[in-house]
Structure 1
Amino acid sequence: MKSYGQYCGLARSLDTVGDRWNLLIVRQLLIGPARYGDLRAGLPGLATNLLADRLRDLETAGVVRRQVADAGSAVAYALTPWGSELREPVEALIRWATPLMVEGPGDDRFDPAWLHVALPALLRDRPRSRRTVTLGLDVDGALLRLRVGRAGIEVETGDGDSDSDGGDGGRTVDATLRTSAHLLLGLAAGALTIADAQAWGAVDIEGDTDAVHRVLGG
């Protein structure tokens, strides 16, 4: 890796993670440990040889480590404890990029898995009710579950069926929100309100509407 040759925290940080694709690899590993093939799938446009080079550099720097995957002897990549501390600057960059997201995706690719990092970043400073609220999200056909409470913000893959009977081991949702990734990110960032999205016919809510407002405002 090339160095800026400057005794400055920012310069040395960029020496380590500033190369093209490095922070996007970190984004993928903030979602969770991943095998090499999973990283390739989550990083469209990244050549396999360049991914191997970047992983090797990050491992040498102490940002990434290899471990045994859950399924057996296969290798998975994970962030080290020090590497995991990149969550804060990554989330700050996501919030900073809000004006850049307003124009929509255009021809850019989108993976719903990226919402696992984006939604906690955008919702971090929102007021939270004492009661945990769970929303089912149907984002362009991809099903996720967003749980927001005093303990924190979690995003997981799951169905978006609303259900208030308390079954399913507490994994039911208070409401289901169906919309596009563009609109959901705008709502989470506070760039538009639910009322606006409903007026445009761009969002559909099934279940406890108040629960949606408690999480996303507006």
Structure 2
Amino acid sequence: MSARSYGQFCGLARALDTVGDRWSLLIVRELLPGPMRYSELVASLGGIATNLLAGRLRSLESAGVIERRLGQAGGVTYALTPWGSQLREAIEALVGWSTPLMVSGRDSDSFQPRWLAVALPALLSGRTAKPPTELGIEVSGCFMTLRIDEDGPHVTVEPDRRPDTILEAEPEVVLGLAAGAITIAEALSAASVHGDRRVLMKVLPGARA
């Protein structure tokens, strides 16, 4: 038995034995949108020590949660295994649960636009659209497409094409709309919409006035 194990024959305890260490689930969050290089993980995670990151990556790889792959331009990237990708549901549930913790605002906390790719599907869970509707979102120089279709919400970071309607906003505005914490009118006073504003209201309905 590992010294770090809870030593309990319980699914939750064994899951925490595997991904419960500090930074482990945040590494999984980083990889949910797609593979990343080691240097990209260091930059995105911010406060993690490089030796700690290397240790967490080894541990997650040994457990079968992540794997190393050859990147398109050469070099090694880290990616979730199919089993590791199943953590999306648990992470999205925690993101949804965290809404009361987020209403106080960002303060001095760091933020990476890439994290919206995980947060938005979680906050918009259960929302569908037929026919599908797409909204481009630009935050801090990062572009992504939020698509709502009959299967629910999906986010693509740096897509091959851009939708006709694009929202340019700070992360607090995008998250506030998705969580229903602010109204469309409040969002538009602090953001820009290029295209059809009705798309914004269909995809990110915001709070009722």
Instruction: State if a TM-score over 0.5 links the two structures.
Output: yes
Q: Percent same amino acid among aligned pairs?
A: 55
Q: CA deviation at 1:42?
A: 1.3
| Residue aligning to 1:179 | 169
Contact persistence 1:134–1:172 (CA under 8 A)? no
> What is the alpha-carbon distance in structure 2 between the residues aligned to residue 33 and residue 204 of structure 1?
31
Q: Secondary structure of 1:100's match? A: helix
Shift in alpha-carbon separation, 1:140–1:64, aligned structure 2, 3 A: closer
| Residue aligning to 1:9 | 11
> What is the alpha-carbon distance in structure 2 between the residues aligned to residue 65 and residue 117 of structure 1?
20
Q: CA deviation at 1:111?
A: 0.6
Gaps of 5+ in 1: 159-168
Q: CA deviation at 1:122?
A: 1.2
Moved >4 Å (runs of 4+): none
Q: CA deviation at 1:60?
A: 1.0
In the alignment, does 2:56 pair up with 1:54? yes
| TM-score computed with the length of structure 1 as normaliser | 0.86
In the alignment, does 2:71 pair up with 1:83? no
| Residue aligning to 2:109 | 108
Corresponding letter in the other structure for 2:120: L
Q: Secondary structure of 1:136's match? A: strand
| TM-score computed with the length of structure 2 as normaliser | 0.90
| Residue aligning to 2:133 | 133
Please give the root-mean-square deviation of Cα atoms over the aligned residues, in Å: 1.8
Gaps of 5+ in 2: none
| Residue aligning to 1:212 | 200
What is the number of equivalent residue pairs in this alignment?
203
In the alignment, does 2:8 pair up with 1:18? no
| Residue aligning to 1:99 | 100
> What is the alpha-carbon distance in structure 2 between the residues aligned to residue 141 and residue 23 of structure 1?
25
